[in-house]
């Protein structure tokens, strides 16, 4: 059985991707698993989020384990688009795996500048992180307003004709934003980002860590969101939320997802995506499932 798939302008050898922020820019991951090994089961790599200028991220504590997951507050730490292109992008492109660059910014204008920086490169596509606040709109999150997202997508689409996905927040104006993405020919929506959460940490004194919850704990929530969005829009859905097994991916497929991003599992086991892909393949073949016909 063939597991290659096309999503909009993107042709993938596998429906599995590595999710943004869970494998950096590959330096550590490639010490464990070679790009040639990854290429056998991964259709695309979604980079850590890149901003226009370098961002130092949040001070520690940044991560705390929770039952069936963890809360992270990395703070979008990254070297900025110039250093990314100079130090990381060439190495990533040499893997031969399609590269999708996750972008985040606090204004439509900066998103546009980021897209222009990537136009002359060989990246396969971009993924817009709309969980950021728009400072020019008083700090309102893009994900809280379909109108803001419409303005952003119209601007980006005028500059970018390759693969474009939007990573939705699981909270906010989710369904109307999905319809906006469909209306303005976004190739796919990624469902979804982490869930707002908080942990109280005891390090001799109590500290509050506010961040995003990820891992198996969020799978039932995101699974329902994928299912409900699939009923309302025809745009391809890339599921992202608590996938740690092949069965998890099958569940998402049955609920309408066309591809999958593996995230937290990479932090637990660098070989996770290989195991997940092989289990997914075995279940699909053993059960005689017809891919993406549900």
φ/ψ of residue 268, rounded to 5: -85, -40
User: From CA 13, how far away is CA 42, in angstroms rounded?
Assistant: 7
Question: Alpha-carbon distance 38 to 7, whole Å?
Answer: 20
* 8 Å CB contact between 263 and 21: yes
CA atoms within 13 A on the CB side of 12: 28
Q: Are 43 and 276 in contact (CB under 8 A)?
A: no
Nearest CA-CA partner of 141 in 110, 168, 161, 120: 168
Residue with tokens 């990254």: 78
Tokens representing 191 are: 């469902």
Q: Which residues are catalytic?
A: 132
- Both structure tokens of 230: 């699939």
Nearest residue to 176 via CA among 261, 254, 233: 233
Which residues are CB-contacts of 30 (< 8 A; sequence separation ≥ 6)? none
Report the C-alpha gap between 180 and 220 in whole angstroms. Answer: 25
């Amino acid at each position: 059985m063939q597991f290659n798939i096309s999503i909009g302008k993107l042709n993938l050898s596998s429906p599995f991707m590595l999710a943004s922020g869970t494998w950096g820019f590959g330096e550590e991951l490639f010490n464990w698993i070679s790009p040639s090994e990854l290429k056998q089961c991964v259709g695309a790599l979604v980079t850590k989020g890149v901003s226009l200028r370098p961002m130092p991220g949040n001070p520690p504590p940044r991560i705390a384990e929770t039952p069936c997951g963890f809360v992270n507050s990395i703070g979008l730490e990254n070297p900025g688009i110039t250093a990314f292109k100079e130090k990381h992008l060439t190495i990533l492109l040499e893997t031969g795996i399609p590269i999708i660059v996750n972008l985040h910014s606090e204004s439509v204008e900066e998103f546009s500048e980021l897209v222009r920086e990537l136009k002359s490169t060989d990246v396969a596509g971009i993924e817009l992180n709309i969980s950021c606040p728009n400072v020019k709109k008083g700090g309102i999150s893009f994900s809280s307003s379909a109108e803001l997202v419409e303005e952003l997508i119209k601007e980006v689409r005028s500059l970018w004709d390759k693969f474009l996905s939007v990573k939705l927040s699981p909270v906010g104006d989710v369904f109307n934003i999905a319809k906006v993405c469909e209306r303005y020919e976004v190739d796919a929506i990624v469902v979804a980002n982490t869930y707002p959460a908080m942990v109280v940490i005891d390090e001799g004194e109590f500290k509050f860590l506010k961040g995003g919850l990820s891992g198996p704990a969020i799978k039932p929530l995101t699974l329902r969101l994928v299912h409900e969005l699939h009923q309302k829009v025809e745009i391809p859905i890339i599921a992202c939320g608590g996938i740690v097994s092949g069965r998890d991916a099958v569940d998402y497929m049955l609920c309408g997802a066309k591809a999958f991003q593996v995230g937290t599992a990479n932090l637990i086991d660098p070989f996770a995506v290989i195991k997940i892909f092989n289990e997914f393949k075995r279940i699909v073949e053993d059960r005689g499932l017809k891919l993406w016909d549900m």
